Structure 1
Amino acid sequence: MKFTFTIIETLEKKVEVEAEDYNEAKNTVERMYYDEEVVLTADNHTNTEFELTIKLQ
């Protein structure tokens, strides 16, 4: 039999920003992430999951 798995790794980092409201805060954090001001690395690893995707006989 053959098995195909999906490996899912979760990285997490808390980022604090000042803003007038939720949308402004979220937009600021997204911009910081996409501009690489906030970078997640292996040190931010919090979880690994192994999910069966396909089982062939």
Structure 2
Amino acid sequence: MKTFEIEIKETLSKIIEIQANSIEDAIKKATLLYNNEEIILSSDDYLDTEIESFTTSN
């Protein structure tokens, strides 16, 4: 019997509203909030699962 490496990826997604002067500023604010754990994604934000073979490039 062989051994295979299988990768399992789950995607979480949340839409939030940010007030800002530009889209770039809104993304920066959202990034800061996320990095400071003021925006937390949970299993309620589940979007998708992918399961596929895992390969590394050498």
TM-score (norm. length: structure 2) = 0.85
- Which consecutive aligned stretches of 4+ in structure 1 deviate over 6 angstroms post-superposition? none
Q: Which residue of 1 aligns with 2:9?
A: 8
Q: Where do 5+ consecutive residues of structure 1 fail to align? A: none
**Is the strand fraction higher in 1 or 2?**
1
Q: Where do 5+ consecutive residues of structure 2 fail to align? A: none
RMSD, aligned CA: 1.0
Q: Which residue of 2 aligns with 1:51?
A: 52
CA distance in 1, matches of 2:17, 2:40: 14
How many corresponding residue pairs?
A: 54
TM-score (norm. length: structure 1) = 0.86
